[in-house]
Chain A
């Protein structure tokens, strides 16, 4: 077993375990910490795949900014009473589990039967290549993303501020 395989298994187990913890833990703060560790594990997978720039962006944006935003969202709302009284709907939960399980089974069946050529040589996407492609072919989409982020920033402020009496 190669060292890459060992690292892949470690990161995959951490990612899946933390994703399950996000769904299953009791307190909101613990769930958000589990989500942050999931983001770190996915960033490790990106480093393993030779996509260093994406991995660093993942750590900065997801494990840094998005997690902090979630912590603010948790603090500004009610987070002590996570159980909302009576929660009987077992039928809903079982139906969701069945549906998601069927979807997962179908996807895994398709993926494992996929006939991909093995042993391609690994492509290392450096920041320079990404930048050339981003400012070359995708410059219009890049400007569009800039407008989208500006609109999201202004919209978030407008939505979340207190209404003036």
Chain B
């Protein structure tokens, strides 16, 4: 059986790749995609602990379902905001949307 340490390390690596993408990419669609990658990495941790962790039970999988549904809602609202933003400001470059920055 695969050790749980490997699953946790894989989750950490995927999370950091997603975080790097969020910090450096300028296209808003790609920023949202990288947020999805980070949520996926967290889900790997939850399912790994739920399946081969020290106190393996079903709770981690239930929480994974909750995370997936919240992520789906986040993508729907995020893309709606993105479309409205593109219609009003005519750009989806992250750097150009600094209206609320002090």
Contact = CB atoms under 8 A, between A and B. Distances in A.
Whether both chains belong to one complex is answered with yes
A143 interface: no
Interface in B8-44: 8-10, 12-21, 23-30, 32-34, 36-37, 40, 43-44
B29 A70 contact: yes
Nearest to A53: B61
Contacts, number: 224
Given A42-B44, A148-B70, A160-B83, A28 B61 contact: no
A25 B96 CA distance: 22
Contact of B30 (A2, A31, A100, A160): A31
Q: Interface range on chain B: under 10, 10 to 19, 20 to 34, or 35 or more?
A: 35 or more
30 contacts: A12-B6, A16-B10, A19-B17, A22-B17, A23-B20, A23-B21, A42-B43, A46-B47, A49-B47, A51-B47, A51-B61, A54-B65, A58-B43, A58-B68, A70-B79, A73-B32, A76-B86, A77-B92, A87-B26, A92-B24, A96-B23, A96-B24, A100-B20, A104-B16, A111-B8, A111-B9, A123-B57, A133-B58, A133-B59, A149-B73
Interface of A: 2, 4-5, 8, 12, 15-16, 19-20, 22-23, 28, 31-32, 35, 38-39, 42, 45-46, 48-51, 53-54, 57-58, 61-62, 65-66, 69-70, 72-74, 76-79, 82, 84, 87, 92-93, 96-97, 99-101, 103-104, 107-108, 111-112, 114, 116-125, 129-130, 133-134, 138, 141, 145, 148-149, 151-153, 155-157, 159-160, 162
